[in-house]
Structure 1
Amino acid sequence: MRVGMHLGYQNLDGTPDHEFFLRETKLAVEAEAMGFDYVGPVEHHFTDYAACPDPFGMLSYVAARTSKIDLITGAVILPWNNPLRVVEQALQLDALSEGRMILGMGRGAARREFRSFGVELADSREMFDEAAVIIMEGLETGIVEADTKWYKIPRTEVRPRPMKSWKGRVVQVTMSPSSVEVSARLGTQALRFSQGDWRNAIPEINSYRAKFEEIHHRKPPPFIISDFVLTHTDKAEVGRRTDTYFSKMFETVANHYEFMSDHFKALPSYSTYAYMGRAAEAAGGPHKAYTDYVGGNMIGTPEEIIAHHQMRKEMVGDYEMLANFSYGGLPYEMVYEQLKLFADKILPHIKG
């Protein structure tokens, strides 16, 4: 089982952005020494919720300071980026890292970010689907061309040219039935965020696996699950930190994506986000939605997290983990403390 480190760049403690960004990025360098298999940042813009506007640039820094760990964009948001530029940037980073690049692709979900880029949230499904095909063909062949509804690109040879095949090195965020279907059709590895009770995700996970095998005549790769991790040897301290920091993080997620807004109800391709809103309105209200969110992520003592992993694996089958340790204004000392505890006490068990 491969385990990676996910960096969200959520600056909620008032640290100057340039200091916070460098500090978070240096955690990615530490990840190699701690035994993680891959590391990658989100792409988010403009707010304290998360701000890493250029995953390729950030990973170039990490590539120069590491030698073995794989590098994943987690994820580059295709409706905000020209597919020709994505191909160029991915190939350049693959060359600089000597073939350690994994391209993670997503389509975004926050209206505030789409608005600033002049793109409509309702168009994201079509834009992603067209761009993903253009990018995957470009990565494999070194030629980018398109004549689609959203993209007009004359036949262009990109440089640097591909150094090796990208088969098995493209990941797609799949937080809706339509994304699951697209990922299976394209043959990408599927990534899913922990957003509640994993039993609700099993139909989509099974659908992906069945469609993937039907189309490509081979077993699909394991899902990647992106978890928030909060761990300490003292169970009471886990509870205190959850109440203080994880709750703050959940509030920023709900506000950033506007879970309580009605706009997702008119967008079937964002069904998971609509579900989060419905969960907050249902019996138990926002508190129930929050407790489900806590239960879906990796929170507890090392022993509890190992048990949670084993229970989840029995439920969803083989999966990989992309773990986020820094969020909600957690002081850096606590971030590093729990990261080291995870690497020492939990990582050997779940990788084994």
Structure 2
Amino acid sequence: MQVGVHLGYQNLHGLPDYEFFRKETQLAVEAEAMGFDFAAMVEHHFTDYAACPDPLQALSWVAAKTKTIKLMPAAVILPWNDPLRVVEKVAMLDALCEGRLYLGMGRGAARREFEKFGRSLADSREMFDEAALIIMEGLETGVVEADGKWFQQPRAEIRPRPQGWTRDRCVMVSMSPGSCEVAAEYGLKALRFSQGDWSKAMPEIDKYRTTFKALHGKAAPPFIISDFMVCFADRAKVTDYTDKYFAAQFLQVANHYEFMSPHFKDLPSYATYAYMGDMAAARGGPDKAYKDYVGGNLIGTPEELYDKHLERKSMVGDYEIIANFSFGGMPYEDVYEQMKLFADKVMPLLKAEEPVLA
């Protein structure tokens, strides 16, 4: 089982941006020393919700400080980026890190970000689907060209020329039935964020696996789960930190994506976000709904985390983890403490498991 860290760059610490950004990015370097397999970073813009506008650039710094850990933007938001430039940046960083780069791709979900880029949330499905094919073909062939609805690109040869790229090194954020279908059609590993009761996600997960095998003649790869994680040896500390920091970050998530707004109901491709809004409304607002959100993530002592993982695995089958330990303004000394505890006590158990899916 592959286990990584996911850096969310949520600056609720009150630190100056430069200091905060350096501290958060250093977590990826420490992750290699602790034995994690992946370092992943988000792309978000303009607010404290998540302040990492270029994960590929941030990962280039991590690449220079590390030797073995795999590097993954999770994810580059394709409607906000020119496909040609994505291919160039990926090829350049992959050359420098000697093939450790994996490309995570997403389509975004926050109106406030789309509006500032002059894009429409309603167009994200078409823009992503078109851009993803351009980017993957560019990485596989070293040539980018397009004449589509959203992107037109005269033939351009990429230098440094991409090397060793297949779709096995590409990951797609898949948080809706439509996204799961596209991931299966394109032959991509799927990434899902923990956002509630996993049983509700199983129809999408099962459909992804069935479609993937039918189209590509092999089993779908284990999907990746991005968890917000709380891991301390003291149960009382787990409870205290969950109530204090997890609640704070959930309010940020709800506000950033406007879960309480009805606009997602008019966008079928964002079904999961519409569900989150309905869940929040039923419980009297996002400040009351976060406990359901907690239930989908891995929260607890090391022993509890492993038991929760086994329960989840019995439901969803094989999966991989990228864990976000830094959120809600949690002090960095506590972030490091729980990362190290998880690496020492939980990760060896996860890595020792045998796969359950054929």
Give the superposition deviation at 1:290.
1.5
SS in 2 for 1:184: helix
SS at structure 1 position matched to 2:46: strand
Report the residue type matching 1:291 in the other structure: K
The one-letter amino acid of 2:323's match is A
1:236 aligned to 2:239? no
Letter in 1 for 2:308: H
Q: For 2:280 and 2:76, locate their aligned partners in 1 and report how far apart those are by CA, in whole Å.
A: 29
Question: 1:237: Cα distance to partner?
Answer: 1.1
Task: After superposition, give the CA deviation of every residue in 1:6-27 in whole Å (9 maximum; x if it has no partner).
Answer: 0000000110000010111111
CA drift of 1:167 comes to 3.0
The corresponding residue for 1:278 is 278
| In 1: Cα distance, 2:188 partner to 2:58 partner | 23
Which residue is equivalent to 2:355? none
| Residues 52-201 of structure 1 mapped to structure 2, 5 A cutoff | 52-201=52-201
CA contact (8 A) 2:3 2:322 kept: yes
Which residue is 2:27 aligned to?
27
Q: Identity of aligned pairs, percent? A: 67
CA distance in 1, matches of 2:162, 2:286: 48
Consecutive aligned runs of 4 or more in structure 1 exceeding 6 Å deviation: none
Q: How far, CA to CA, are the matches of 1:153 and 1:100 in structure 2?
A: 28
Q: Deviations over 1:169-218 (max 9, x none)?
A: 00000000000000000001000000000000000000000000000001
User: 2:356 maps to what in 1?
Assistant: none
1:39 & 1:13 partners in 2: Cα distance? 22
Query: Conserved in 1, the CA contact under 8 Å of 2:247 and 2:287?
Result: no
2:259 paired with 1:251: no
CA distance in 1, matches of 2:331, 2:279: 30
Cα contact 2:260–2:285 (8 A) shared by 1: no
Tell me by how many angstroms 1:287 deviates. 6.0
* Match of residue 310 from structure 2: 310
**Deviation at residue 283 of structure 1 after TM alignment:** 5.6
> Partners of 2:199 and 2:220 in 1: how far apart?
20
In 2, Cα distance between equivalents of 1:68 and 1:128: 30
Deviation for aligned residue 1:166: 2.4
1:144 alignment partner, SS class:
strand
- How far, CA to CA, are the matches of 2:10 and 2:240 in structure 1? 20
Structure 2 unaligned blocks of 5 or more: 353-358
* 1:295 paired residue number: 295
Q: What's the TM-score once normalised by structure 2's chain length?
A: 0.97
Give the root-mean-square deviation of aligned CA atoms: 1.0
Q: Name which of structure 1's ranges 314-323 and 229-238 shifts more when overlaid on structure 2.
A: 229-238
Aligned-pair CA distance for 1:231: 1.2
8 A Cα contact 1:196 1:289, kept in partner: no
Partners of 1:72 and 1:183 in 2: CA distance: 17
Partner amino acid, structure 2, of 1:278: D
Aligned-partner residue type, residue 324 of structure 1? N
Provide the rounded CA distance (Å) in 1 between the counterparts of 2:240 and 2:165.
47
> How far, CA to CA, are the matches of 1:309 and 1:175 in structure 2?
20
CA contact (8 A) 2:172 2:191 kept: yes
CA distance in 2, matches of 1:327, 1:240: 14
- Distance, in Å, in 2 between the alignment partners of 1:31 and 1:168 is 23
Secondary structure at 1:221's aligned position in 2? coil
Question: Which deviations, in whole Å up to 9, do the C-alpha atoms of 1:29-78 show, x marking residues without a partner?
Answer: 01111011111110000100001011111010011111111100110000
Alignment size in residue pairs: 352
Q: Are 1:50 and 2:50 an aligned pair?
A: yes
Residues 113 and 287 of structure 1: CA distance in aligned 2, closer, same or farther (over 3 Å): closer
Q: Give the counterpart letter for 1:182 in structure 2.
A: V
Whether the 8 Å CA contact 1:9–1:21 is kept in 2: the answer is yes
Task: Determine if the alignment matches structure 1 residue 219 to structure 2 residue 222.
Answer: no
Unpaired segments ≥5 residues, structure 1: none
Following TM superposition, by how much is the alpha carbon of 1:280 offset from its aligned partner in structure 2, in angstroms? 1.3
Name the stretch that deviates more: 185-194 or 280-289.
280-289
* Secondary structure at 1:39 match in 2: strand
Q: Match of 1:40?
A: 40
Q: Per-residue deviation at 1:314?
A: 0.5
2:8 aligns with 8
